[in-house]
A and B are shown apart, each in its own frame.
Chain A
């Protein structure tokens, strides 16, 4: 079992560290601060189909033990091939036109990704796009299912803060502009909506 210490790390560093550790070991113990770091790592792992045990120590920090007990995980991901494509969602509406119709089109697009044979590797939500990953969104169920199929869902932390929705994230994890910039520059292909 691999052990990593992610205390005193700002989001999304704990999630990135956890992801890296899980690529190297089937079982990982992670020390985390309470609040967003624990919630984001736990959500990330559960969305990926890992088993998560959470324990709080005497200092108030958390120890998460994450195990890859799902032998089908790899084959599940193979069934939904990812093509290094990043989908950048910058609004809760798709296209220019009446807001209500744009909202419908965006929801329709996200639901439709469940039926496509090729999935994006990541979906990044920023600006008003974060309304799609937070409480009250109509696409949480679809995004949860996409997570389970290996799609990484990332929401801009600054945007969550700006719109006062930091504690309302319901799917995926929080990220920052540095990571978003790296993801966009490093992606094979970016589709911006």
Chain B
């Protein structure tokens, strides 16, 4: 099923808790030419606004750097590993 959906093994997802923040974040990352895609958060993640930014491990440093600089860090980052989402980074202020 993996390749029929928008998230494949190894993909990273930056999950946000606000539509405004995720839209701003998408704009910042696209302006820098980073290969990201705004997608619905997979059903399994049960997020507030239901949106996530998909990116790859290769661009992780650039994505996180840009989001930090813009004050738009996500609520958490998760990676699809063997079919499961594993949280690999979490905002210190997040309640999750």
Q: Is B5 an interface residue (CB 8 A)?
A: yes
A104 near B23 with CB under 8 A, answer yes
CA distance A148 to B6 in the complex (A): 13
- For the complex, is A114 an interface residue (Cβ under 8 Å from B)? yes
Q: Which of A101, A138, A145 contacts B23 (CB 8 A)?
A: A101
Q: Which of B4, B6, B42, B43 interacts with A149 by CB under 8 Å?
A: B4
**Residues in B whose Cβ lies below 8 Å from that of A107:** 38
* CB <8 Å contact, A145 and B38: no
Closest to B6 in A: A111
Q: Is the interface of A mostly helix, strand, loop or mixed?
A: helix
Task: Please name all residues of chain A whose beta carbon is closer than 8 Å to the beta carbon of B23 when the two chains form the complex.
Answer: 100-101, 104
User: When chains A and B are docked, how far (Å) is the Cα of A111 from the Cα of B40?
Assistant: 7
Decide: B38 and A148 in contact? CB cutoff 8 A.
no
The verdict on B10 contacting chain A, using a C-beta distance below 8 Å, is no
- In the bound complex, CA of A148 to CA of B5 (Å): 11
Query: Which chain B residue shows the least CB distance to A149?
Result: B4
Of B4, B19, B38, B50, the contact of A114 (CB 8 Å cutoff): B4
Contact B6–A142 (Cβ < 8 Å): yes
Judge whether A141 is part of the interface by a CB distance below 8 angstroms: yes
Interface size on B, residues (CB 8 A): 14
Tell me if A114 and B37 are in contact (CB < 8 A). Answer: no
B40/A112 in contact, CB under 8 A = yes
Chain A's closest residue to B5 (CB) is A114
B39 within 8 Å of A by Cβ?
A: yes
**Which residues from A are CB-within-8-Å of B19?**
101, 104
In the complex, whether B12 has a CB less than 8 A from a CB of chain A is: no
Task: Please tell me if the beta carbons of B51 and A114 are within 8 angstroms of each other in the complex.
Answer: no
The answer for the CA separation of A108 and B19 in the assembled complex, in Å, is 12
Q: Quick one: CB contact mask for B37-68 with A, threshold 8 Å, 1 for yes?
A: 11110110000001100000000000000000
Contact of A145 among B4, B40, B51 (CB under 8 A): B4
The yes or no answer to A57 lying at the interface (CB within 8 A) is: no
Can you list 15 residue pairs at the A/B interface with Cβ under 8 Å? A100-B23, A104-B23, A104-B38, A107-B38, A108-B50, A111-B40, A114-B4, A115-B40, A138-B37, A141-B6, A145-B3, A145-B5, A145-B6, A148-B4, A149-B4
Q: Closest 7 A-B residue pairs measured CB to CB?
A: A112-B40, A111-B39, A111-B40, A108-B40, A114-B5, A111-B6, A145-B4
